Structure 1
Amino acid sequence: MEWKTYYLDLMLVPLEFLMTIGYYVWLWNKTRREPFSTTIGINAHARRFWVPTMLKDIEKKNILVAQSLRNQLMGSTLMATTSILLSAGLAALMSSTYSVKKPLDDVVYGAHGEFMVALKYVTLLTIFLFSFFCHTLSIRFLNQLSILICTPQDVMSMVTSEYLSDILEKGTTLNTIGNRVFYSALPLLLWIFGPVMVFLCSLVMLIVFYNLDVVCGSGKAKIILNGESNYV
């Protein structure tokens, strides 16, 4: 293994992983400390009030509940199907002897030996499988919620609004994690063509995610907590 062949992969690809992990650690801390400064925190706060609101008049809002949960299920099902299809395609490619497993030396910058090609495909396969795992768990919780939310609370006293809100939170959180894991595989797809593309694509994606995740505004948002008005 020659350093002149592998140094770009050894420098840029781990740096891409560290950048991505560092961004999500920062986002998690910001959401935990300042929940209303990120879209994730605002959405999580809104979901805690969604279930009690629907339960107050479930007979009139049952269609709205069914449509909302169906949209969530369709999104998770689509992403799970896409992830497993990509996993199957990568597995078939790894087990074959097709020439695409050997990229052209003139096109690829960085390492392009048999070991590195195999490492690239195994990394992608692992990420897509983990995304599939998260989305299937999300589908499980959302299906469970779609049944329990229409259960009369006077018949099953253990099915409280807090319990249903917890199920909804687990389902949506797993869906979000699955989506972000899936998106993290997109720069690695370009690793087939070299580590430089991985780093540049990851940098662009983090800039896009930052603008989507962080709520920027000079005005203060009014949030009602336990009957009291709070400004954030």
Structure 2
Amino acid sequence: MGEKSAWVESHLDIVLVPAGFLMLVIYHGCLLHKILTHPQATFVGINTIHRQAWVQAIMKDGMKNGVLAVQTIRNGIMASTLLASTAITLCSVVGLLVGMGGSPNELTFYGMTGPLTSSVKFLVLLGCLLVAFLCHVQCVRYYSDVSFLIITPPASPEMEDFHVEYVSSMFKKGAYFWSVGLRAFYLCVPLFLWNFGPIPMFVASCLLLVFLHSLDRPGEDLSAVHDIKSSKRTKKIGHLPFMHRDVS
């Protein structure tokens, strides 16, 4: 009986941990598909559209709106810098715990135990924190470039359209790195609870899934309203001088 119970406990990690990861991977795969095919159905897509419109509005009169643009982007740089510092600090703490031999087995409720298992859990958590750190560093990089490019006039009138689109794309990439970095922080919660066993990790993954769904989906009513407004805004922006292209 004792051997059967030990066998069941040791296989909880094999069943629950991959199931928790698989749910999160499938969810983010579906979210990415929505962002690419129907961005108005997600807050990430809606924010991307609004960021692009904001950059275009700011660059219509860069000298007048320059202070507002730089201050707004500076707030994003400060937030990313804080999160990057937090991530690398937590990496140091996790590295120290790994060097000390991992977490004590007494804290694990069911599941596999042992120094090797604890080290693997902490190394996975360390990898997730490193991803968060690198994403926020890249976010700072893109935002720093945008902060001076957004108020820099194009090299020639013919380059105006390209200049606006280039700055918009860099601002969008910085925002994407910000989102991925935040999600890496979110993922650290179930990874940390994995040190207490696969059951807390699986429950935390389910709760995280519900939490992310509430953050990412604006709802059908808001999505429909935004579809109408964004189509009107697109028509209005299309009449701006810098949005016309020379197709000859």
TM-score over 0.5 (shorter chain): yes
Residue 228 of structure 1: CA displacement?
6.7
Corresponding position: 1:110 with 2:111: yes
Cα displacement string for residues 91-123 of structure 1 (whole angstroms, at most 9, x for unaligned residues): 1111125xx632316x52211111110110010
The residue aligned with 1:77 is 81
The residue aligned with 1:95 is 99
SS in 1 for 2:221: coil
Residue 155 of structure 1: CA displacement?
6.2
Corresponding position: 1:206 with 2:209: yes
Uncovered stretches (5+) of structure 2, i.e. residues with no partner: 1-5, 238-248
SS in 1 for 2:118: helix
Corresponding position: 1:30 with 2:37: no
Tell me how far apart the structure 1 counterparts of residues 214 and 198 of structure 2 sit (CA, whole Å): 25
Uncovered stretches (5+) of structure 1, i.e. residues with no partner: none
The residue aligned with 1:160 is 163
Output the aligned Cα RMSD. Answer: 2.1
Query: Taking every aligned residue pair, what percent have the same amino acid on both sides?
Result: 32
Contact preservation (8 Å) 2:125, 2:191? yes
Moved over 3 A (4+): 2-5, 154-159
Residue 154 of structure 1: CA displacement?
4.4
Tell me how far apart the structure 1 counterparts of residues 234 and 184 of structure 2 sit (CA, whole Å): 35
Tell me how far apart the structure 1 counterparts of residues 55 and 35 of structure 2 sit (CA, whole Å): 22
State the TM-score, normalizing by the size of structure 2.
0.84
Tell me how far apart the structure 2 counterparts of residues 20 and 154 of structure 1 sit (CA, whole Å): 45
- Give the 5 Å matches for 1:1-232: 3-97=7-101, 101-104=103-106, 107-154=108-155, 157=159, 160-218=163-221, 220-221=224-225, 222=228, 223=230, 224=232, 226-227=234-235
Tell me how far apart the structure 2 counterparts of residues 74 and 226 of structure 1 sit (CA, whole Å): 31
Cα displacement string for residues 62-113 of structure 1 (whole angstroms, at most 9, x for unaligned residues): 221012101111121111111101101111111125xx632316x5221111
